[in-house]
């Protein structure tokens, strides 16, 4: 029996020309999505400050239930909760566990804009993006052909154990691809429309976020597809615009927004032991940056980290970021490694970026058998050059699972790569610093 389910999401029979989206290849069943999401949700309080406010959660649940009633595919037991953070962000776990930062409520102009973010996350669940990402990462690592692959249930069971083996929410559930984001935008707009909201609210909110002085965390964790707002506008046209008597705002939303703004401010420190220096973990990354250059590249790094030049690269880590592993060897648990990898030229041809990236990961796996790909490589840029971004997982020398963000690009002297490393349970405390380092990389002309 197949251990995966391919659910076609047909049009709901309305007189419009909506885009039809089909979920991708998936090793897991919808019931396994729920099991994975339920177990992963128990780790959320370790990484995020939960607001735990009954009034706010009940409002989000009512609004979410209205949206989820129009989500196609398997009918998951959708649950909506509020994260006590002023950053504008949200995320969803498989099986219907959706989390909305209070910053979304505080910055939305009306209920339709809040509903747009919730519909986007609901679409990720309906399209099963979290477990599809994990499936694609496994297939890429195992060298499987996704099309027509018939994989038994034991594979899904073992992969579930791998995903839930560490401490923290699996990074495959938190980091989506650009294709996933585009699909969630399109289906989210459809859900908004069918729930009686003006779907244009999604484009309006994204435009507002794009005009903020500081980039919204939502765009950092939800990589923007090309022409994101324009594609939503196109889908709104396909839906024939807003439904009759569309909801834009409500008195309940205005009351909740005022109430949330009146609550005590969120905790100033990230959740988890990383923020607790006395517990032996490093201090959180500084928001001030120092500069490093060695003739091959320049970058910026938090000024409370130490830099150490190495042949062809460098390492950057906070105090207590490098610790001894189980074998007594010094290993980086928190920080960034920059280096150059020389692919083996066995064909006489210059390897492509994709080939060199796969060879690097294979080399890393040889030195660390516990290393696994959690999200397959996708295109990005590094220092203005074409690059690949891959998310990995391994055992952390600090205990539990380790999340690794690998970014690679070809340079004249080989494959230039950066690995951003932190325990998975604390990764969010380092995410902004890692993104700043990656975006600061520059190469000489």
Residues identified as active-site: 121, 185
Residues contacting 13, CB < 8 A, separation 6+ = none
Residues contacting 183, CB < 8 A, separation 6+ = 21, 123, 127, 129
- Please check whether residue 178 is in contact with residue 108, taking contact to mean a CB–CB distance below 8 angstroms: no
Q: Report the distance separating Cα 85 and Cα 246, nearest Å.
A: 30
Could you tell me how many helices (H) and strands (E) the chain has, helices first? 14, 14
Q: What is the DSSP letter of 344?
A: -
Q: Are strands 330-332 and 385-395 parallel, antiparallel or unpaired?
A: unpaired
- Please check whether residue 33 is in contact with residue 76, taking contact to mean a CB–CB distance below 8 angstroms: yes
Cα distances (Å, whole numbers) of residue 196 to 66, 188, 211: 9, 13, 27
Which of 207, 181, 187, 206 lies closest to 378 in space, CA to CA? Answer: 181
């Amino acid at each position: 029996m197949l251990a995966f389910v391919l659910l076609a999401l047909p049009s709901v029979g309305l007189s419009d020309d909506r885009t039809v989206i089909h979920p991708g290849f998936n090793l897991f069943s919808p019931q396994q999505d729920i099991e994975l999401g339920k177990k992963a949700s128990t780790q959320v309080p370790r990484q995020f400050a939960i607001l735990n406010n009954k009034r706010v959660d009940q409002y989000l649940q009512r609004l979410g239930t209205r949206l989820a009633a129009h989500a196609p595919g398997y009918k998951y037991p959708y649950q909506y909760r509020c994260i006590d953070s002023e950053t504008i962000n949200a995320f969803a776990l498989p099986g219907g566990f959706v989390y909305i930062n209070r910053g979304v409520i505080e910055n939305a102009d009306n209920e339709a804009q809040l509903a747009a973010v919730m519909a986007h996350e609901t679409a990720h669940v309906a399209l099963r993006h979290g477990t599809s990402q994990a499936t694609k990462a496994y297939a890429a690592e195992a060298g499987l052909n996704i099309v027509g692959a018939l994989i038994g249930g034991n594979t899904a069971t073992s992969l579930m154990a791998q995903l839930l083996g560490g401490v923290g929410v699996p990074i495959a559930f938190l980091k989506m691809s650009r294709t996933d984001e585009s699909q969630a935008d399109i289906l989210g707009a459809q859900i908004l429309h069918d729930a009686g909201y003006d779907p244009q609210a999604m484009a309006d909110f994204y435009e507002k976020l794009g005009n903020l002085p500081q980039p919204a965390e939502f765009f950092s964790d939800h990589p923007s597809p090309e022409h994101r707002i324009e594609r939503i506008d196109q889908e709104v046209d396909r839906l024939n615009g807003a439904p009759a008597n569309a909801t834009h705002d409500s008195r309940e939303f205005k009351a909740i927004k005022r109430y949330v703004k009146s609550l005590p401010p969120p905790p100033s420190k990230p959740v988890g032991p990383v923020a607790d220096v006395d517990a032996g973990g490093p201090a959180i990354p500084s928001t001030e940056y120092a500069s490093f250059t060695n003739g091959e590249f320049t970058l910026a790094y938090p000024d409370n980290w130490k830099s150490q030049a190495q042949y062809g690269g460098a390492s950057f880590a906070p105090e207590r970021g490098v610790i001894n592993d189980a074998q007594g060897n010094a290993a980086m648990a928190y920080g960034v490694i920059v280096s150059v990898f020389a692919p083996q030229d066995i064909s006489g041809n210059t390897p492509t970026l994709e080939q060199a990236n796969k060879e690097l990961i294979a080399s890393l796996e040889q030195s660390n058998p516990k290393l696994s790909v959690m999200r397959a490589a996708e295109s990005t840029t590094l220092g203005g050059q074409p690059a690949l971004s891959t998310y990995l997982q391994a055992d952390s020398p600090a205990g539990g699972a380790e999340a690794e963000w690998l970014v690679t690009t070809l340079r004249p002297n080989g494959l230039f790569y950066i690995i951003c490393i932190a325990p998975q349970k604390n990764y969010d405390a380092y995410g902004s610093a890692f993104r700043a380092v990656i975006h600061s990389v520059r190469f000489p002309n």
